Every structure is written in structure tokens, then in C-alpha cells.
Structure 1
Amino acid sequence: MQKKEIKITVELDDKNVANNIAFKADDMPNVDAVNCRAMLLSFWDAHNKDTLKLDLWTRDMTVDEMKIFFHQTLVTMANTLHNSIDDERIAGDMRDFCDYFAEKMEIKE
């Protein structure tokens, strides 16, 4: 059995607000830890049929960056949904929502 490790480091200020978020993974051997301004982490608890979430962002994360971050996350979720349940119809509906979201947030390319 193979194991991989992902390490997430969060630096907090004296009010427990994130100053910096960094991650490093075993699959990134020649790369130093990558600094980020935001992260969304979800785990599925099968026993309780519940999602465990950890959502963090730094004070440096701008509103415009957050809009783009959410849009890109939603697009990725639509792709993951398609790959995991192989339902093009519902994944397409989600992609349509992503287009709508981008338009409403005024980030449409």
C-alpha cells in the first residue's frame, strides 16, 4: 500500500485570523510549499452522511480574487461530478450555473 501526505500550514495573527496559508504535497518533491490566500477543504463522513468543511482565507484575499476562486472551484466541482457519477446532464446544468455565476459576479471572460 502506498501513502501520500499533504501538509497544510496556517499562520495566524493574534486574533486567529489567517495571515498565510501554505501547502506541500509528496507529489511535489522539487517544489517548496506553495503560499495561498484561500482554501476550501471538504471531507465526506460516510458514517454520519455529512460533509466536514474547513474554509479559510487570508485578509489579503481580495473580493475580486474570491469571486474568481469560487467560480473556478464550482467549475472544478462540475467536472468532478461528471467524472464521479457520469451524468452529463446534471454536470451540464452545473456548468450552466457556473456561466451564470460568472456573469452575475462580472468575471465573465
Structure 2
Amino acid sequence: MKKSEIYFSIALDDKSIPEAISWRATDAGEKIHFAKAINISLWDRDEAGTMKIDLWTKDMPVDEMKYFYIDTIGAMAQSIATATSDDVMAQKMRALCQELTKHVEQEQKDNKGNA
């Protein structure tokens, strides 16, 4: 059986706030990649529930955080369509992404007008 591993490294400041996030995967070579945020969800088979890890660096702007979550929902929509063929659920998730994108864009427009 082939085995693949993913490693995350989180550098914390003196208040345990992430300053840097890096990762590498055995299938992607030895290169270390850097990220501003990670969102990991696992379905625990013993508890039959979701376990989550959400981390972001203190230098990640709020608007990027919002787009990160919109992109995450969009990726989940594609995953649910592929894994279950539930196109209704996938389309509702995509519609939510469109609505949230419009919201963030309007927020940015409003903030530019107030600056």
C-alpha cells in the first residue's frame, strides 16, 4: 500500500498567535510551501462528527480571509458533486459563493467610498 503524508508547521509568537504557516507533502517533493491560512476538516469515524482546525497568520487581511472561505465553500461544492452526484446541493453551495462574493465586493466598494 502506498503511503502519503502531509506536514504542517506553525510558527507562533509569544502569545501563541500564528506568525507563519508552512507545509509540505511527500507526493509533492521536498519543497516547503507557505500559507496565510489553513482550514482542515476531518470526519472522525469513531465520533461520527467533524473535527476542524482553522488557523491564519496575523498578517492575513480580512478581505483575503473572506475570499479564502468563499473559495473553500466552492471547492466543497465541487467535491460534493463529484463524490455524491448531488447537483442540487452543489448548486446551492455555488449560489451561496456568488452571493458572498457580491457581498464582499460591495463591502470593498463601500469602504473605498469612505476612505
TM-score (norm 1): 0.92
- What's 1:22 paired with? 22
RMSD: 1.2
Partner of 1:37: 36
Deviations 1:42-70 (A, max 9, x none): 11012211111110001010011111111
What SS class does the counterpart of residue 9 from structure 2 fall into? Answer: strand
Shift of 1:2: 0.6
Q: Does 1:95 align with 2:94?
A: yes
Identity of aligned residues (%): 36
Report whether the alignment pairs 1:83 with 2:82. Answer: yes
Structure 1: gaps of 5 or more residues: none
**C-alpha separation between the residues in 2 aligned to 1:19 and 1:11?**
6
Give the letter for the 1:85 counterpart. T
* Partner of residue 48, structure 2: 49
Runs of 4+ in 1 over 4 A off after TM superposition: none
2:3 counterpart residue number = 3
The whole-number CA distance in structure 2 between the counterparts of 1:43 and 1:89 is 23
In the aligned structure 2, how far is the partner of 1:19 from the partner of 1:12? 5
State TM-score, norm by structure 2. Answer: 0.87
| Aligned residue type for 2:90 | A
The aligned amino acid for 1:27 is: D
Larger Rg: 2
Amino acid at match of 1:79: Q
More helix by share: 2
Three-state SS of the structure 1 residue aligned to 2:11 is: strand
Q: Deviations over 1:56-105 (max 9, x none)?
A: 00101001111111111110011011111111111111111111111112
Shift of 1:40: 0.2
Counterparts of 1:15 and 1:97, CA distance in 2: 35
